[in-house]
Structure 1
Amino acid sequence: MDGLGGLASGQNAALVILAFLQADCGSSEYGKELLSLGKDFNLTRDINHNGPRQDDGDIECDGHLESDGHVSSSIAAALGDVEPSVELQWPRNRAEAADLQQIAEGLREIADQLEHNVVAEAVQNLSRNISASHSEQWKDHLRWEVDRVMRRGVGLEHLPQERVIVALTLTLVKGVCERAPRLLRNLFDSVLQCFSPARAR
């Protein structure tokens, strides 16, 4: 994509999209969907290891702290509801990671500049349209709504229009998913297809 650097890679596009959607996440249900999505795409990792353990084979079932520092199954079960603290897994190349973080931050800044009433109306229209259709059509509804808003004008003509379109698209997706978190996975896939047409899912 012109002007959006490393987003040609499906993994980089997914990382930037997830970074955008995670910013200022207010709803716990939406947050859980984001966490699940990030894990499924291998884009997040638990940085303080307080999520459910994967390997309980070497834990005794007597409810004690093991000598190797692992928590026994009864304590682990009690901590199962504790939300893990996660971070996105940016590329190891610091320059590439910094570029992707800068793209995500720039998109959030553009989204903040979009008029609230324009976004609120567009989110409502998009929600109504996707509720009345199959998920295969969601990408088309998303494109149509973004095009409608851009034709109407958002007052950001001084910014690169491709970035405004991406920011608007992600803002609409976030608005819909905050209202209906169960739609996140399909909308995420739709956006990823828009940004990475060659990606097969």
Structure 2
Amino acid sequence: MHGLNRLIVFLFFLTLFVCLLGVAVFPFGALSLAQQIVSNLNETLTQAYYDFGPQFRLGQVLVVVAAALVLIPFIWLQVRRTRPATVRVQTNSGAATLTADSVMRRLAWHLDQLADVVGVTSEVKAHGTSVDIKLSVRTTPDIEVPMKTEEILAVTREVVEQRMGLRLGKVEVQIDHAPYAERATIEKGSAR
């Protein structure tokens, strides 16, 4: 659904941009063209109204029904409240639920404590009792990527499975190195 929304918004803004560009570059020609299109449409609809009477009114009803069937669900999907994604935690004596946001915050806090990790953002997708995690980790530029990735995966597994009691699904780690200049700034700040 998000992809379709993005496509519709993209096409809307692209059309708006082209129209505004046309009005800015050729103001009189664009307004004349718009006036001519509206005038032709008015003549065509007036002629159709007198020529086809009942069929024209049926066409109006069909256009309204089709617009309602297509657009009202889109409007509803945009304004409805969505519940936050939750994940179930099974214990011996009962069950609890955690929001995906709380999993993200806790995981980011623990990963941020690792050496050479500058920042962490995560995306958690809940699937019943398991979670899929996508991590974007910003590190200092001189780390050994395979070793740091294994360390990140180990901490992620420990936090999610042992400390939070969840099942870990797929984990994807994306590492982004901070520039060398940023590292010097970080080291100067920690030396103070």
Length-normalised TM-score, structure 1: 0.25
Structure with the greater alpha carbon radius of gyration: 2
Q: Which has the higher strand share?
A: 2
Larger RCO, structure (CA 8 Å, separation 6 or more): 1
Length-normalised TM-score, structure 2: 0.26
